[in-house]
Structure 1
Amino acid sequence: MTKLPKGVDQLPSGKYRLRKMVNGQMLTALFEEQPTQREVMRAVNDLLRETSAAILKGSFLDYAEKYIKAKENVLSASTIRGYRATLRGLPNHFTSLPIKDITQYTLTALVNDMVRSASPKTIYNRHGLIVSVLHEFRPELVIRTKLPRKVQKDIYTPDDEEIRKLFSYIDSTPNFKKYWVPLYLAALGLRRSEIGALTLSDLSHDNILTINKAKVQDSDNNWVIQNFTKTERSNRKIPIPDELATRIREQGCIYEGFLGKVYDTMRMAEKTLGLPHFGVHRLRSYFASKAHSLGLPDSVILKLGGWKSDNVMKNIYRKALKEDLHRESEKFLSHMTEIS
């Protein structure tokens, strides 16, 4: 006699009974013959579907709101804001569906429709939220949706000369001068949200900057200071140059104002100087690529930049190295054209 699957016993009548506790529910099924493990799993999934159908009464939107509400105190305000924006982007014909009626085919059809009007990244985000909600309230539903292939964006990372021009212009323009410090900090690897939350008390007497909070927008578009950063490893202490520390103390703050103005100022400076467009976050990319080219160990770059893993960090400087190779190749080809 083969071993009975876990949770199955044989009754005096000769039949086989499955008793299994799943998500606080005791599921029971009878079999005329000894079931295989696959038959047991099929029975469990069938029972879960029946139970869900009996319990789940609302629409997908109802349960998505419940899911987001339950996460409000454990996730950052910006993440919750992102969830709500993603939810608003889903079509009404989907969010109004009873959650118990959603199937794999429903998701496949939804993705197929969204391909016409949304980018692959947006579709990934929307599908990710849907899957999270369904896993929470429909754990028996197996989801294997084929998603569109992500498009690799050509993200520009500035070189040393472009950085020098930008900082020189910002520093010499009276209306832009106050943005020199936050942009310099971005080039040291800080995120915009981290820069916005910094105060003078975060700068020690020996010029060590403590990064342990973030300034983000909540679901109502209000700016709030949250007492944690993007990831667990983002809390860090970094040394900053004496010149930067002196300027911070002289101006009496790190940055006070609307964070969007930092981006706007940088955009105006780029246009004036004729530089390629690169946002504030690309200064963080510059930090990673430059630190790598100077020979800093990956573990040090990871710590200074507050990345959770080295995957994103390495992709950043690999991309920058490709751009350097392209630029240098163009210089060589130009040289060859001149001498031919």
Structure 2
Amino acid sequence: MATAKKLPSGSWRCLVYSHTERIFDTKSGTWKDKRIYESFTSDDPSRRGKADAERQAAEFQQDRDTNVSRKRQKNGNILLKDAMKKYVEAIGPSLSGTTVQGYSKEQYDSYAFLMEKKLKDITTEDLQKAVDDDTKRPSKRSTKTKAPISPKTVRNTYSYIRSVINYFYPNDNYDVRLPKIPKKVKNLIPAKTVLEIIKDTEIELPCLLACWLSYSMSEIRGIRVRDISNGYITLDRVIVDIGQTPTVKESGKAEARLRKHHIPNYIQALIDKNISGKKPDDPLITLSGHAIYMRWVSLLEQHDLPHMTFHDLRHLNASVMAMLRIPDKYAQERGGWSSDRVMKNVYTHTFSEEREKVDETIDNYFDSLLDGSASEKEKSAIEIINALREADPNGWYKALLNMQHEMQHKN
């Protein structure tokens, strides 16, 4: 039985376990089990108040145990494959299309032997075997090397299966070992090289929007002619592919991504050429996301450069801002990462003087790469990392990892 404790105010509080939720820890980049507790209080400072808080907690716990028992008894015979289908049907209306699509993908081959198994019969050993098998599953992106999927993908797949089981058959007794996500910092192609290979190509504009203004693929595809006005781009939506169908998502659900960017002169000239004859609701970029990506990969191959995803251009932008010592809050604003200031600045007609200086610093850097006036050789990613390590030996990696993680998970 839970025991109540006296608070500084004199009241009594009793905490009792409610359930466990799977949450994503942005600091470590991993999924974790978080125990959720219910709080019961009494304002009576006497021993009667203590007894009252404990009585409320005991009643809740009894009701919880009864409800969990009923739920397990009711759903224990459901097959895992049926539970997965019902889970999507049950929570689908509250999720975005891209999330539901992720749940519907056929990426659960390692769990195939469990699909015909009843939820009540699935054990820790079963789930551990599935996870171990999943760590060997070949990645579809590595057809040449046949490299396995990433530890992050393994963990995400298990998290979904675990969520399905707990939704119908609550069970906190599973103890599955998951692969650790290794620490890594991408060695990116220098910005100067990127600008050289995209020059005068069909994808120069989308690439510049990514590496210079830090837009993601979905954001670039969401920009309309009407979003460009008085030297600024105002982002308020994205376009993603759901089942191969381009689908508009309003950015209001991710406030940090609702932002406004000053347009550098060079990019403005490309935009002016691109929007000639277009209507206000026409997209700025007409190529599909797949077409842009394939042209980007082709450029890398033509110039014998190492593989780098289109999304890595946003990482390149983050590295440039780190090299230029851009203050964190302005780097967050430009990149659309979590910041309390973003919403306040989006629809204003002017930026703060400090933000304008930041934009000017970054624009001058890219302009110098374009016209060849850079005063010194551009630093490689390793050199930038070494400089950051020197400046902040204890916090350099955490700051860079957090920035990269936010870029990967807010699309």
TM-score scaled by length of structure 1: 0.70
Count of residues in Structure 1 that have an aligned counterpart in Structure 2:
280
Measured in 1, the distance between the counterparts of 2:253 and 2:193 equals 28
Q: Give the structure 2 partner of residue 196 of structure 1.
A: 221
Find 1:84's aligned residue among 70, 83, 104. 104
Which residue number corresponds to residue 30 of structure 1?
none
1:300 equivalent in alignment to 2:323: no
Look up the match of 1:241. 264
Q: Match for 1:163 among 170, 185, 194? A: 194
Q: Is the 8 A contact 1:191 1:281 kept in 2?
A: yes
- Relative to structure 1, the CA distance from residue 276 to residue 106 in structure 2 (aligned partners, 3 Å threshold; closer, same or farther) is closer
Q: Supply the AA of the counterpart residue of 2:159.
A: G
Q: Deviations over 1:200-250 (max 9, x none)?
A: 01112x2221222221121x3322112237844112112121332232133
Of 291, 306, 313, the match for 2:321: 291
- Separation in 2, partners of 1:159, 1:166: 11
Contact 1:199 1:254 in 2 (8 A): yes
Aligned equivalents of 1:305 and 1:4: distance in 2?
46
Point out the more displaced range, 221-230 or 57-66: 221-230
Aligned to 2:181: 150
* Cα distance in structure 2, aligned partners of 1:4 and 1:286: 52
Confirm whether residue 254 of structure 1 aligns to residue 296 of structure 2.
no
The alpha-carbon deviation at position 45 of structure 1 amounts to: 5.2
Higher mean C-alpha displacement, 208-217 vs 270-279: 270-279
Question: Where is the helix percentage greater, Structure 1 or Structure 2?
Answer: 1
* Alpha-carbon spacing, 1:251–1:114, altered in 2? closer, same or farther (3 Å): closer
1:141 equivalenced with 2:162 (yes/no): no
Q: Which moved more, 1:255-264 or 1:245-254?
A: 245-254
Give the alignment partner of residue 108 of structure 1, picking from 119, 128, 134: 128
Report SS of the residue matched to 1:263.
Answer: helix
Residues 200, 249 of structure 1: 8 Å contact kept: no
**1:338 counterpart residue number:** none
8 Å Cα contact 1:231/1:307 also seen in 2: no
**Partner deviation per Cα, 1:272-310 (whole Å, 9 max, x = no partner):** 22322222111101111101211211111112111248x
Q: 1:210 to 1:86 in 2, by over 3 A?
A: farther
Question: Cα–Cα, structure 1 residues 55 and 69, in superposed 2: closer, same or farther, change >3 Å?
Answer: closer
**Structure 2 partner of 1:335:** none
Q: CA deviation at 1:157?
A: 1.4
**Mind listing any 5+ residue stretches in structure 2 that lack a counterpart?**
5-16, 20-56, 138-147, 276-282, 340-379, 388-411
Name the residue aligned to 1:322: 382
Distance 1:135 1:211, change over 3 A: farther
Residues 187 and 382, structure 2, Cα contact 8 Å, conserved in 1: no
Q: Which amino acid aligns with 2:165?
A: L
1:208 aligned partner = 232
Alignment partners' CA distance in 1, 2:236 and 2:273: 23
Q: Distance in 1 between matches of 2:3 and 2:384?
A: 60
Q: Which amino acid aligns with 1:301?
A: A
- Give the corresponding residue for 1:183: 207
Shift of 1:46: 8.3
Partners of 2:208 and 2:191 lie apart in 1 by: 13
SS in 1 for 2:251: coil
Partner residue, 1:58 = 78
TM superposition shift of 1:151: 4.0
**Helix, strand or coil: the match of 2:297?**
helix
3-state SS of 1:224 partner: strand
Q: Structure 1 unaligned runs (5+)?
A: 7-19, 23-36, 310-319, 328-340
Residues 240-249 or 134-143, more deviating: 134-143
Equivalent residues of 1:194, 1:213 under 8 A apart = yes
CA contact (8 A) 1:49 1:140 kept: no
Counterpart Cα distance in 1 of 2:2 and 2:184: 53
Alpha carbons of structure 1 residues 321 and 268: separation in structure 2 relative to 1, 3 Å: closer
Q: Which amino acid aligns with 1:209?
A: I
Paired residue secondary structure (1:280):
coil
**Is 1:224 paired with 2:247?**
yes
Q: Would the aligned equivalents of 1:185 and 1:195 in 2 still touch at CA under 8 Å? A: yes
**Relative to 1, partners in 2 of residues 1:228 and 1:61: Cα closer, same or farther, differing over 3 Å?**
farther
Q: Is the 8 A contact 1:78 1:216 kept in 2?
A: yes
Q: Which residue of 2 aligns with 1:275?
A: 305
Distance 1:111 1:209 in 2: 44
